[in-house]
Amino acid sequence: MLHVAKFTFNPFQENTYVVHDGSDALVIDPGCWNSTEQQELEDYLKDNGLNLRRLVLTHAHIDHILGCAWIHDRFGLLPELHEADLPILKGGERTANMYGIPYDPSPTPTTFIAAGDKIQVGASELNVLFVPGHAPGHIAFHSPADGFVISGDVLFKNSVGRVDLPGGDMDTLLRSIREELFPLGDAVKVYSGHGPETTIGAEKKSNPFLR
């Protein structure tokens, strides 16, 4: 069984996730941007006796990658993401300067993730879904066994991801949601990149962008 721990970090109020089976863990979208937030994440891993095995990204917008360099320095892990988002990752320093926030540039990945891949967490696994529209290489992580999906900035409670950033497209985003997320089932819990959790069924029923 997989467990999901959520941490809300940085000025963008981004949700960072630790997914674990009680022993092995991975971090998804590390937004920790200062020593206090870094310590909070490390304390959780230590207090729960978790071995951090991988660092994976739903996409590479600046609020989701602020902790990549720290995790590499502390745990020796390189970020893994869809190759289509590599230019965004490489542009992180420029984006951080635009927002006026400190940023230690992320190391360059050597491993990329594609649709249909399986992300192992101990004996459990997450299925990789390709869900572009908010970012060109956006992916989501689905656990059929435990009934959840980590959707990044694709689907939110009563909202969807913004499409006014480079590579964004509303038609593509809505198609990703309807063709990749909705078929997962109404009971599936959605852990979003910002804000509270929701379910596929609730968003089918009440999300104004999707009715």
Q: Which helix (H) or strand (E) holds 159?
A: strand 159-160
Q: How far apart are CA 153 and CA 173, in angstroms?
A: 10
pLDDT tens-digit readout, 66-83? 999 999 999 999 999 999
Strands 124-130 and 118-121, sheet pairing: antiparallel
Q: For residue 52, what are the contacts with CB-CB under 8 A and spacing of at least 6? A: 25, 26, 27, 45, 71, 75, 77
Residue 55's nearest CA partner among 17, 22, 21 is: 17
Q: What is the pLDDT of residue 60?
A: 98
What pLDDT does 166 receive? 86
Give which of 165, 159, 192 is closest to 28, Cα–Cα.
Answer: 192
Name the nearest CA neighbour of 22 among 62, 51, 61. Answer: 51
Q: What is the DSSP letter of 200?
A: H
The residue type found at 173 is L
The structure tokens listed for 70 are 């720290």
Task: For residue 127, give the H/E element and its range.
Answer: strand 124-130
Q: What is the pLDDT of residue 168?
A: 94
Q: Are 56 and 125 in contact (CB under 8 A)?
A: no
Whole-number pLDDT of residue 204: 97
CATH topology of domain 3-206: Metallo-beta-lactamase; Chain A (3.60.15)
- What is the pLDDT at residue 211? 82
In one-letter notation, the amino acid at residue 131 is V
Map out the domains of the chain as residue ranges.
3-206
pLDDT along the chain (211 residues), means of 10: 98 98 98 98 98 98 98 98 98 95 96 97 97 98 98 98 93 98 98 98 97 82
DSSP symbol at 87: H
